Amino acid sequence: LVDESGIQQQREGDTVGRLGRQTAQALGLGGQFTFLLGETLILAADRRCRRQIHPPTIAVDDQLAQAALETGWGRHVMQQGRGESSHNLFGIKADSRWQGDRVEVSTLEYRDGVALKTRADFRAYGSYEDSFADYVDFVQRNPRYREALDKTADPEAYFSALQEAGYATDPAYAE
């Protein structure tokens, strides 16, 4: 179902509808779009957060907003060689410490303000839920993101601090 705002939902008050509306509002999109991220990603985030004993360090809405940004609302999730989804929602690269599956893709990196097309290895996951879990773990375990984690109550400040710490090379990432 699509409500009057154009946001996909199942039933009034359910997790999909509520998080979809909140994410859209957080991104300032209102009813000017069709909610393309899809209930699969929202439900994966919801399942992951329900299993946590404590409230999530990074709000579910903020995780969904970032996944939407990284994947073009779910339309551009990196694909593995056989056309299977990498389930990578956050653009986390697979460096030498990563022991899991990888997917090599073309990517745009910014160096000194200049966009350069290159190839890089990114992490691949068995599910979207695994991607959400790894994102939170990645940010929490990496000391360079400590300042960003101190600002999670303010999404704008969080994403700006994340960018300043080097999460993304795109100079407009946090905008």
| Distance from C-alpha of 32 to C-alpha of 50, rounded to nearest angstrom | 30
| Distance from C-alpha of 27 to C-alpha of 29, rounded to nearest angstrom | 5
Residue whose C-alpha is closest to residue 39's, from 28, 27, 54, 23: 23
3-state helix, strand, coil in the chain (%, to 5): 40, 15, 45
Q: Which of 61, 70, 129, 134 is catalytic?
A: 134
| Distance from C-alpha of 21 to C-alpha of 17, rounded to nearest angstrom | 6
Q: Which of 109, 137, 150, 156 is catalytic?
A: 109
Q: How many CB atoms within 10 Å of residue 76?
A: 9
Active site residue 109: yes
CA angle 34, 38, 41 (to 5 degrees): 145
Q: Catalytic amino acids?
A: 109, 134
